[in-house]
Amino acid sequence: MRILHTSDWHIGRTFHGHSTLAALAEVLEALVRQVRENRVDVVIVAGDVFDSATPATAAYGLLDEALLALHATGATVIMTSGNHDSAARLGFHSGLLRDGIHVLTDPRAIATPITVRDAHGPVHFFGIPYLEPAIVRRLWTDAAGEGPMLRTQAQTMHHAMGLVREGMAASPGRSVVLAHCFAAGVDATDGLEREVRQGGLDMVPLASFDGPDYVALGHIHGRQQLSERVRYCGAPLHYSFGEQHKERGSWLVELDANGLASTEWLALPVPRPLVTLTGSLDEILADENVAQHADSWVCAVYTDPLPQHEPMRRLRARFPFCALVQHQPDRSDAADDRSYAQRLRTAVTDAERIEAFLTHVRAGQGATERESALIHDVLDDRVRAEALV
């Protein structure tokens, strides 16, 4: 059986104010071609199908188009909800979906698999939607009102995997798990996967995933292999400049009669590459940069000592897809590395106090020669005015 492991479509997400729907549609079309060309039997989407709990109409439209195209290939589609999705909204019409498309969003049904058969027998797919401990511990109480004490992601996922193993015991055969969480050992993208905290007890130990033949994880936006059978595939599209060096694609997983037989990375196209350009504003605007990156999403980090006038306007005149501009002065040449408080303590005159302030706000660059002359003129005028009072 051939399985394509995808996740984190984030339909409806914007990129610095720009819609990503058209770019994602292009990438999903390529994914459908891969499914057809590689004769994929099952397509997995491991959470964060949408980017919002209340997606716009256009986001639903794109999902419908993608599901219909995947269904037309003959593949079975199995998806779960992530922390960005609303499980209720994603799964509200799951009972009405055509055969071969399954949306698994109910924590109470984790032990009940979707079964797909091949020449070697059944393969059982267990979907674990994103689990919020405070919510699911109420769902897993018994008639007496007693249930597991779940306070962390680690505890919650460990309990969910216990339910999966119960389901595996009741349904012998090969098994695959879909889950959306932080697993121990992942390398997260700073500032992006913040909603499910990384660190401490919220990290799910790798041992929690013991048992299934393959574990398809979602939530991390870059490809990662935690073990031979536990992997993240990442998002199909770049959603931040922090992801720009991470490949986009999916895992093609093959099961034989004994379980996991092989895995292969299938790269996806990048509709518009991302690049971060660093240097003085004039260096960034140089002809060689423009020739190379005019069609890229650009993050410009200019290092001039002082803020420049209308930097975004100047950048977009050369880079039509400049999405972000940041001023990060180069402090390497600053001779005075004292703090602002230290400079103030040693300042005696008003001119020295102003110089301390300018050096602080300009990342080590004090007043220019012309500015110093103006400052002294203003201070002298004040002294003369006070003498006449």
Q: Is the pLDDT assigned to residue 143 strictly greater than 60? A: no
Q: What are the CA-CA distances from residue 178 to residues 33, 90, 106, 275 (Å)?
A: 23, 16, 13, 32
What is the C-alpha to C-alpha distance for residues 360 and 358, in angstroms, rounded to an integer? Answer: 5
Helix (H, G, I), strand (E, B) or coil at 249: strand
CATH code given to domain 2-267: 3.60.21.10
Residue 288 — very low, low, confident or very high, per pLDDT cuts 50/70/90? very high
Percent of the chain scored above 90 by pLDDT?
60
pLDDT for res 46: 96
pLDDT for res 116: 97
Q: Report whether 300 contacts 325 (CB < 8 A).
A: yes
Residue 238 — very low, low, confident or very high, per pLDDT cuts 50/70/90? very high
Residue 52 — very low, low, confident or very high, per pLDDT cuts 50/70/90? confident
Residue 290 — very low, low, confident or very high, per pLDDT cuts 50/70/90? very high
The full set of domain ranges for the chain reads 2-267, 274-327, 340-388
**Dihedral angle, C-alpha 275, 279, 284, 286, nearest 10 °:** -130
Buried b (16+ CB within 10 A) or exposed e, 271-285: beebbbbebebeebb
pLDDT digits (tens, 9 = 90+) for 252-277: 999 999 999 999 999 999 999 999 99
Residue 201 — very low, low, confident or very high, per pLDDT cuts 50/70/90? very low
33, 34, 43: which is closest to 75 by C-alpha?
A: 43
Report residue 104 as tokens. Answer: 């698994």
23, 2, 1, 43: which is closest to 239 by C-alpha?
A: 23
Report residue 194 as tokens. Answer: 């913040």
Provide the CB-side half-sphere exposure for 26 (13 A, CA). Answer: 10
Q: Report whether 298 contacts 315 (CB < 8 A).
A: yes
The answer for residues whose C-beta is within 8 angstroms of residue 231's C-beta and 6 or more apart is 5, 214, 215, 216, 217, 223, 224, 225, 251, 263
Report residue 119 as tokens. Answer: 């020449």
pLDDT digits (tens, 9 = 90+) for 144-185: 666 677 888 888 899 999 999 999 999 999 999 999 988 887
pLDDT digits (tens, 9 = 90+) for 76-127: 999 998 887 766 566 555 544 668 999 998 899 999 999 999 999 999 999 9
Q: What one-character DSSP code corresponds to residue 119?
A: T
What number is the average pLDDT over the span 295-316?
Answer: 94
Comparing 66-70, 198-202, 212-216, 298-302, the range with the smallest average pLDDT is 198-202
For residues 200 and 106, the model is more confident at 106
For residues 199 and 202, the model is more confident at 202
Q: What one-character DSSP code corresponds to residue 307?
A: P
Mean pLDDT, the chain, whole residue set: 87
What is the C-alpha to C-alpha distance for residues 213 and 160, in angstroms, rounded to an integer? Answer: 17
Best-predicted range by mean pLDDT (19-23, 80-84, 198-202): 19-23
The β-bridge partners of 183 are 204
Residue 195 — very low, low, confident or very high, per pLDDT cuts 50/70/90? very low
pLDDT digits (tens, 9 = 90+) for 328-383: 987 655 555 667 777 777 777 888 888 888 777 776 677 788 888 888 888 877 77
Q: How far is CA 71 from the centre of its chain?
A: 27
Helix H segments across 73-149? Answer: 87-91, 133-139
Report residue 6 as tokens. Answer: 């995808």
CATH code given to domain 274-327: 3.30.160
The β-bridge partners of 94 are none
Does the predicted model carry a pTM greater than 0.85? no
pLDDT digits (tens, 9 = 90+) for 24-37: 999 999 999 999 99
What number is the average pLDDT over the span 230-243?
Answer: 94
What is the residue-wise DSSP string for 17-38? TEE-HHHHHHHHHHHHHHHHHT
For residues 385 and 74, the model is more confident at 74
Q: How far is CA 352 from the centre of its chain?
A: 47
pLDDT for res 348: 73
